[in-house]
Amino acid sequence: MPVLAAAGPADGGSGVALGGGAELGFAEACWRALVLGVVQGFTEFLPISSTAHVQVVPMLLGWGDPGVSAIAVIQLGSIAAILAYFWHDLGQVLRGVSRALREGRWGSTDARMGIAIAVGTIPIVLAGMAIKLWVPDYDNSPLRSLPAVAIVSIVMALLLGLAELVGSRRRHLDDVQTRDGWIVGLAQALAVIPGVSRAGSTLTASLFDGWERTAAARFSFLMGIPAITLAGVVELRDAFSTPASPDGATTMAAIGPMPMLLGIVVSALVSWLSIAWLLRFLQHHSTWVFVIYRLVFGIAILLWLRATVGG
């Protein structure tokens, strides 16, 4: 997922670039937005890092790195999908917190879940603010380089595999406590690093913390709602407020709203399907398929880079 309030392109702006420095025609802009929407929607809620894939796929297609802001804007579709999918759960949590505020009793599962989500959002907000203050040119940071993404993917795969091996998988959502919010929230803050995967880091932390797989996934989804919503809103504001960069990068103003809207809608539809599929999958399967995929993904990038440099 994108960094909260991270800076944009190297020229100091944060316009939305769909890759490449040349102006795009309408059809080409729509095609690129559609591809980004599919990749974003498919990977956002799987423990494989949407940011890494939305960065790597366009680069493999010769489009260049779309940048933090482009990823954040396309991610608005994922935000809409998760809000719609968990609307009932969110309503229960909000009612539980409201009741607890009135009555002073915080023992219900919904109230405890609300506290956990609130405290779990603090670390990633602070991490995003730190990135904005201390890494102003985050789009061109070494952390966003392909070697870094590959190595991080491999490391996170190994951690998820270890969590599968040592986690007790005995805890359920009604066991949630404030400490769970801090534990999973600190793991979520690592998602400011491309390749970590917000879904992957929170799912891994939850498994280490003894959660059952499906409960861990639902907690990960609920925990991520404030974080990805804040990230998307902040980046969307920056994208609309910044004019086209002097190097010709295709910003929001240059692309026009329709291609980006297409990407957002596609991202929403694919995200919904991805959430539903993962929850069903984890009812009967482990996360080893994601461990293997992330290992292959990271190793493949390193081999490709070696072959490219060697050539």
Q: Which residue has the higher pLDDT, 72 or 277?
A: 277
> Could you tell me which residues come within 8 angstroms of residue 298 by beta carbon, excluding any fewer than 6 positions away?
149, 150, 151, 152, 153, 154, 157, 195
- The confidence band for 153, taking pLDDT boundaries of 50, 70 and 90, is very high
Q: What angle do CA 280, 286, 290 make, to 5 degrees?
A: 95
What distances in angstroms separate CA 305 from CA 61, 88, 197, 293, 295, one per listed residue? 15, 45, 21, 18, 16
Q: What are phi and psi of 82, to 5 degrees?
A: -70, -35
- The confidence band for 18, taking pLDDT boundaries of 50, 70 and 90, is low
User: Which residue ranges make up each domain of the chain?
Assistant: 26-310
139: three-class secondary structure by DSSP: helix
Task: Record the pTM.
Answer: 0.85
- What's the mean pLDDT in 19-34? 75
Reported as a single tens digit per residue, the pLDDT across 243-275 is 544 443 444 544 557 888 899 999 999 999 999
Which pLDDT belongs to residue 24? 67
171: three-class secondary structure by DSSP: strand
- What's the mean pLDDT in 95-114? 94
> Could you tell me which residues come within 8 angstroms of residue 72 by beta carbon, excluding any fewer than 6 positions away?
2, 231, 232, 234, 235, 236, 239
The CA distance from 119 to 241, in Å, is 31
Which pLDDT belongs to residue 11? 36
Reported as a single tens digit per residue, the pLDDT across 183-236 is 999 999 999 898 999 999 999 999 999 999 999 999 999 999 998 888 777 777
- The confidence band for 311, taking pLDDT boundaries of 50, 70 and 90, is low
Structure-derived torsion over alpha carbons of residues 178, 279, 264, 119, reported in degrees to the nearest 10:
0
Alpha helices (runs of H) in the chain, residue ranges in sequence order: 26-43, 50-60, 68-74, 76-85, 87-103, 109-134, 146-166, 178-189, 198-208, 213-241, 252-255, 257-282, 288-310
The CA distance from 47 to 234, in Å, is 24
